[in-house]
Amino acid sequence: MAKQFDVVVIGGGPGGYIAAIRASQLGFTAACIDEWKNAKGGPALGGTCTNIGCIPSKALLQSSENFEHAGKHFADHGIKVSGLSIDVAKMLARKDQVVEQNNKGIEFLFKKNKVSFFHGRGSFVKAEGGLYEIKAGEETISAKHVIVATGSNARPLPGAPFDEENILSNDGALRIQGVPKKLGLIGSGVIGLEMGSVWRRLGAEVTVLEALPTFLGTVDEQIAKEAKKAFDKQGLKIELGVKVGEVKSSKAGLSVEYTNAKGEPQKLDVDKLIVSIGRVANTIGLNPEAVGLKLDERGAVIVDDECRTNLPNVWAIGDVVRGPMLAHKAEEEGVAVAERIAGQHGHVNFNTIPWVIYTSPEIAWVGQTEQQLKAAGVAYKAGTFPFMANGRARALGDTTGMVKFLADAKSDEILGVHIVGPMASELISEAVVAMEFRASAEDIARICHAHPSLSEATKEAALAVDKRTLNF
Ligand code: FAD
Ligand code: NAI
């Protein structure tokens, strides 16, 4: 007889593994099925995020930032460096080690939390007698509740499939064996900017081709403008409003034909091309037809606000469903679903999901942008504070950017916080907490912030909402 579990999670990415752990914490027998293989064919838990996403990209961003600091900024501190070079193989090996530590960490967490792990593909077999039968690698198991957390895959450019040698997805982009002389990227979204930054810092000539006429259209305009200025200064070449045509890849080289914003035909010759034009939900191998699980026209699992699918006791979370494709959004949905299965009121607040782009300067935001508030006709007050006027930023030698607060004109409730600058990824947490508790700008302005710290810029931006900054 098939081994039976209360909760079976298909997919061991940040959504899936967290859901399995939470389910187990709540007293359920829980299993997780994940098919990701490491170089030796063994399991590599953590999904896209751990293996070819969040974690390895941040490892390379750190290595390349260290390299750039040593070459460009150490001299300001009186530190002399000569013969600086980058050993790309060593950098990649370190990145792989960081990934492996995370893989092993999740395996340990499964043992600690008594989550049964099946390495292999998970696919629906049938639904019978209130149970779902699921193929879990070589075994067959059954579940009262199923959580689908099968993630997403990179979207290829039509007519230019990924070969991961020359035309790279995020996977190949994290494994380039030497610094390319000329690197092209299609799409100036999150991956385009992060990966473009890595290889530019290491010496590649980087060109990013973006279809939209505006840079980072979903980011607050003022912040996006400031970020663009910084990227231009760094030599990251971003062409907006292009129409990408044919990509020719041969032994002789790689070229991208496109028309620029003026409609003029152009050709970009590159050594490697990273295509980062978004991601598509993944249900490959899940066999949703076997149980009648409904997908939308883009292949995403259809869910309601609470991650319920069309089937009783089948839930779906993370990148495979609607909403932002972010690891922490997947995790929050995983926790909420496990709690809902337990009859609790699991909760995900979509208004307070932070976004971070880990470039230098970092870009981070939560809540509404100024353009969204204007479009919605909301009366608001805005306050900004530049890092230029922050003592800690000056000591760090990194004064690019600002913190920006948007608050309701009448109630003073914080409606959005936008940061471009040093450690924006960490600073944004204060804003998330504040918004989650529906704080006002005045609340933040009245809280004591350590001196000297970057977080004082947050306090000052909150003060700026009522035009009473103290240090600017
Ligand atoms: P995934 O992480 O994709 O995991 C799904 C898992 O399910 C995979 O292990 C897959 O092998 C497995 N699977 C799929 N189908 C089956 C099946 N039938 N049987 C068994 N197993 C199956 N987000 C952030 O929040 N911060 C970042 O800094 C960040 N950086 C990123 C950088 C890059 C380059 C990329 C590509 C993404 C990044 N993301 C980041 C996005 C983040 O990786 C995703 O939002 C997140 O991984 C989604 O989690 P998930 O659990 O839904 O799916
Ligand atoms: P994206 O959606 O962030 O950006 C894609 C960009 O490509 C857009 O600007 C779009 O206009 C452009 N584009 C689309 N088609 C195009 C075409 N044919 N020619 C030229 N430009 C085109 O997607 P990206 O960068 O691939 O990342 C996927 C997702 O992964 C992100 O949306 C995010 O959810 C997640 N991610 C998150 C990170 C983080 O949180 N720091 C880091 C990396 C990825």
**Closest C-alpha to 434, from 470, 471, 405:** 405
Whole-number Å distance between alpha carbons of 201 and 65: 7
Q: pLDDT means per 10 residues in the chain (472 residues)?
A: 93 98 98 97 98 98 98 96 97 98 98 98 97 97 98 96 95 96 97 97 98 97 98 97 94 91 97 97 96 97 98 98 98 98 96 98 98 98 98 97 98 98 98 98 98 98 98 96
Q: What is the pLDDT of residue 250?
A: 83
Do residues 369 and 219 lie in contact, with contact meaning Cβ atoms separated by under 8 Å? yes
The answer to whether 447 is annotated as binding is: no
pLDDT of residue 221: 98
Which ligand 1 atom is nearest residue 334's CA?
A: 51
What is the pLDDT at residue 18?
98
Rounded Cα–Cα distance for residues 317 and 17 (Å)? 11
**E strand or H helix at 232, and its extent?**
helix 221-234
Alpha helices in 342-421 (DSSP H): 370-376, 391-396
Alpha carbon distances (Å) from 74 to 68, 71, 80, 84, 223: 9, 7, 7, 12, 27
Distance CA 210, CA 308 (A): 36
Instruction: Using alpha carbons, select from 352, 471, 157 the residue that is nearest to residue 459.
Output: 471
How confident is the model over 331-359, as pLDDT tens digits?
999 999 999 999 999 999 999 999 999 99
The closest-lying atom of ligand 1 relative to the alpha carbon of residue 326 is 45
Q: Whose CA is nearest to atom 26 of ligand 1?
A: 54
Q: How far is the CA of 357 from the centre of ligand 1 (A)?
A: 17
Q: Residue 209: its pLDDT value, please?
A: 98
For residue 327, say whether it is annotated as part of any ligand binding site.
yes
Q: How far is the CA of 277 from the centre of ligand 1 (A)?
A: 16
Coil, strand, or helix at residue 408?
strand
Ligand 2, residues 191, 219, 257, 298: which to mutate, most atoms within 8 A of Cβ? 191
Question: Among 279, 280, 420, which is best to mutate for testing ligand 2, by the most ligand atoms less than 8 A from CB?
Answer: 279
Tell me the β-bridge partners of 382. 406
369's CB contacts (< 8 A; 6+ apart) are 218, 219, 220, 221, 406, 416, 418
| Rounded Cα–Cα distance for residues 150 and 47 (Å) | 9
The pLDDT of residue 2 is 82
Domains, in order of start, for the chain: 3-154+280-348 (3.50.50.60), 167-277 (3.50.50.60), 352-465 (3.30.390.30)
* Atom from ligand 1 closest to the CA of residue 174: 34
| pTM recorded for the entire structure | 0.97
Q: Residue 37 carries which DSSP code?
A: B
Ligand 1 site, CB within 6 A: 10-16, 33-36, 47-49, 53-54, 57, 121-123, 149-152, 170, 191, 282, 285-286, 318-320, 325-328, 330
At residue 363, the pLDDT reads 98
> Would you please indicate which residues are annotated as catalytic (active-site) residues?
451
**Terminal-residue alpha carbon distance, the chain:** 71
Of 273, 94, 99, nearest in space to 196 by CA: 273
Give dist(CA 242, CA 172) in Å, integer.
24
Question: Nearest residue CA, atom 4 of ligand 2?
Answer: 189
Residues 6+ apart with CB under 8 A from 210: 187, 188, 192, 238, 239, 240, 241, 242
ipTM topping 0.90: yes
